[in-house]
Every structure is written in structure tokens, then in C-alpha cells.
Amino acid sequence: MAGEKKKVVVIGAGAIGVCTALYLLRDGHDVTLVEKDGPAEGASFGNGSVIGEESVVPVAMPGIFWRVPKMLLNPLGPLAVRWSYLPQLAPWLVEFLKASSPARVEEISKALAALMAGTFEAYDPLLEMAGEPDMIRRTGWMGVYETEKGFANDSRYLDIQKRRGVEHEILQAEEIRQLEPSLAPIFKRAVYYPKVGYSINNYRMVRAFAEAFQRGGGRYLQAEVSGFDIGEAGPRAVRTDKETVACDAVVVAAGAWSKPLAEALGAPVLLDTERGYHMTYPTPGVAPRLPVYSTERAFVATPLENGLRVAGTVELGGLKAAPNWNRAKVLESHVSRWYPGLNTEGGKPWMGFRPSMPDSLPVIGRSPRHANAFLAFGHGHCGLMLAARTGALVAEMVSDKPMSLDMTPYRPDRF
């Protein structure tokens, strides 16, 4: 019943979980946020910090099938697959390839665009609750191309964005230098997207939201979830290594670690992991005006309050394999060419796990088995972009409100 106060347990204190918990608290529910580590210690710690409505193109595009051998043979490529993980990845990879058909790409793109709409507006009430109205800067961002061939190869991406109504402006070399003087004059073309911005410190922002959640009466429990007590109406309690927490509803937003929890709630999902790398330079000696990214090199450089972050690449290798720090070194070699005089001293490498679905769409919806179990994960490289938007949508579901968006494309049982 809409308006009924419920005891809700949200599992996972990354950007998705914290935003969801804050929206549920805002709706008047009694909310417990459970996380084995501190807030924002997973993928939310080290993402590219970009927020906007531009990312409407899925990862799997027509022709990706012919790139798979290169993905296997080049461990330092922008998109790489670890040989040792291939048997476990196979079911995910099959659906990934199926999602690359022209018809599916169009469908997925429409679903991404619908989800992206209102990204900034969804963050506004959370920033107000946290007392951090200036945490997000709406500067736009720029995609740069070192070659005309690279720009031509991305024409299909631009065509999809045009069909989705994404605002953008194509820039020539001199216009690039005018917009971002800190860049080396090595770029032939660029695309500027005005409706994009970034958090000046994604880690601090998510933690500020977690603090606002607790100030507002929400409970934070640092514990590891071990299972659920299931009653006739679905999960009635969440078991942890510290205590058992009674609930009327549960939300799984545990990022890359969501799969076994979803399965325990009757929702087997094809979730896997994109291992993303970054380098953060605390005293870069350069001051970019806005985030800059390259599809040719598969990374973004974002000017944060704590330094210049260079983040990106996709490595499909699961949760257990050791990091390949050479991938972080490749990022450094690229960004050093971009910014003359970049001070790389004190640069810190990092690797995190992006929860990824094969069709580039997150899982947002009810478990097919239990109406009071909700799933919110699998956002890939769009986790921070879609965190507040996802939180608002999950709160609508839990509160039994009329949905503001058709949630069919994101349902857990779509595969």
C-alpha cells in the first residue's frame, strides 16, 4: 500500500545502495544500510566521477564478435578477456554477443536513454540533504580523437546519440585548444557534450550521502550478509555475521557481489565483472577545465579536488584474479602525452570491480519469486551516473507508488 512505512534493509553501501537508502529514508521508511566495509569502498571509490545523460550507447556493438580474438590475445587492450576466466565467462559472453545485433543495440540504447533522463535532477535532493550543493559541476565533457580514422570509426556512436536526442557539438583542432588549453595539440577532432558534469570527489560525495542518511535517522550496520530468513510473503529478515535484521522489504545493491544474494532471493542473473583501473595524481601540475575522454584509448581524465584521475579500460576477469597493474601503467603513458608537464609523482594505481550485465543495462526490479525483494545492480561504467536515478526508482517500487518509468527493460529475469 502506497504511503505505508516499511522496515527496509538495503545491502551494499556503494553509490547505488547509499542513494537508494537515502531516497527510501526520504519517503519515510525505517531503513538499515548493511555493508561489510565502509561506504564507497568498492567501485564507488575509484570511478571516473563523470555524471550525465550522454552514455546511451551499449558496450556490445555490431562487429564485436570479430574483436573477441584480439580481446583474448592483448591483455593490455582497451577491452580484454583473461584466458583463465573464459570458461566462467562463456554464458555471459554469449549474451554479450547476442546483444550486439543492430536491432538489440537500438532497443538497449532507447532503454539507456530513458534511464539516463533526469540524472542531474535525481541528485539535487540528495545533495541538499547532504549539505553539499556544489559537489557536482556541470561543465560538460569532451571526447577527443587523435586520428581522423578514430573519429570516423565512432560515427555509428554519434548516429545513435543523435537518434536519442543527445546534445553535442563537433569541434576542430583549434576549437579543442580553445575549450581545453591544457591539452597537447595532438587531437584532430573532438565532440563536446554540454549535458555532462562530474563530482569533484566521488568518494567524498557518497560518504556525505551516507552521513546524511545516518543524521536523518537511518541505521548503518557494518556487517557481512550471510543469508535470508524467508517467510510466506518473502524475506522477513536479513542474516549477517553480526545480527539478524528483521525487514518488510530488502534491496540488493551490492555491486559486483550481488549475484549470490540475488540467487538466494530467487533471481539468478547473468552478472559479471568489468575490472576497471585508475591512476590518481595528487599534484598533477595541470588544471583541466572539464573531463576529457577517448574512445580510441578507452579512458577518461577527470580533474578532482584531490588530483587528476585517469580511469578506464575494461578487463573481463572475475573477482578473484590478481590485478594486472600494467593496465594502469598504460593509462599513465597515454595521459602523459595528453597533458604536457603532467607531474606523475605520487600517482596511485587502483583496480575496482564494475558490476556488469551483458546487455549494458542494469538490473532494477523485483525478484520474480518474492515481491518484497528488490534488485539494483549491474550498472557497468554508469554506476555513479545512475545512482540517484536508480535510488529514486527503487524507492517508488518499495513504496508502491506509480512508476515514473517502464521498468520492463531492466527486469531481473530478462535473460
Question: Average pLDDT in the 134-141 region?
Answer: 96
pLDDT in tens, 312-327: 888 999 999 999 999 9
Pair (291, 381) in one structural domain: no
Q: Report the pLDDT value the prediction gives residue 347, as an integer from 0 to 100.
A: 95
Closest CA to 325 of 336, 307, 313: 313
Pair (72, 192) in one structural domain: yes
- 301 alpha-carbon distance from chain centroid: 16
pLDDT in tens, 24-56: 999 999 999 999 999 999 999 999 999 999 999
Q: Report the pLDDT value the prediction gives residue 83, as an integer from 0 to 100.
A: 87
Pair (382, 296) in one structural domain: no
pLDDT at 149 over 60: yes
CA dihedral 215, 216, 217, 221 (to 10 degrees): -60
Beta bridge partners of 240: 225
Residue 331 lies in a domain: yes
Question: Average pLDDT in the 292-314 region?
Answer: 92
Question: Average pLDDT in the 162-169 region?
Answer: 96
Quick one: pLDDT band at residue 1, thresholds 50, 70, 90? low
pLDDT in tens, 59-115: 999 988 887 777 777 788 888 888 899 999 999 999 999 999 999 999 999 999 999
Pair (175, 94) in one structural domain: yes
Residue 369 lies in a domain: yes
pLDDT at 123 over 90: yes
Residue 54 lies in a domain: no
To the nearest whole percent, how much of the chain has pLDDT over 70? 99
Q: Report the pLDDT value the prediction gives residue 102, as an integer from 0 to 100.
A: 96
The grid cell for 253 is: 545493491
Count of other CB atoms within 10 angstroms of residue 399? 20
Pair (266, 377) in one structural domain: yes
Q: Report the pLDDT value the prediction gives residue 69, as an integer from 0 to 100.
A: 79
Coil vs helix vs strand at 203 = helix
Pair (180, 209) in one structural domain: no
CATH code of residue 400: 3.50.50.60
Q: Report the pLDDT value the prediction gives residue 77, as an integer from 0 to 100.
A: 81
pLDDT at 2 over 70: no
Residue 254 lies in a domain: yes
Pair (101, 233) in one structural domain: no
Whether the CB-CB separation of 321 and 88 falls below 8 Å is answered with no
Q: Report the pLDDT value the prediction gives residue 243, as an integer from 0 to 100.
A: 97
Q: Report the pLDDT value the prediction gives residue 25, as an integer from 0 to 100.
A: 98
The tally of CA atoms less than 13 A away on the side-chain side of residue 359 is 27
Pair (287, 343) in one structural domain: yes
Cα separation, 361 vs 380, whole angstroms: 8
Higher pLDDT, 289 or 81: 289
Residue 351 lies in a domain: yes
Residues spanned by the domain of 232: 7-46+204-270+360-410
Question: Average pLDDT in the 283-306 region?
Answer: 94
Pair (107, 159) in one structural domain: yes
Range 94-98, long-range pairs (CB < 8 A, 24+ positions)? 94/358, 95/270, 95/358, 95/359, 95/415, 96/59, 96/60, 96/64, 96/358, 96/359, 97/60, 97/64, 97/65, 97/68, 98/358
pLDDT in tens, 339-396: 998 999 999 999 999 999 999 999 999 999 999 999 999 999 999 999 999 999 999 9
To the nearest whole percent, how much of the chain has pLDDT over 90? 90
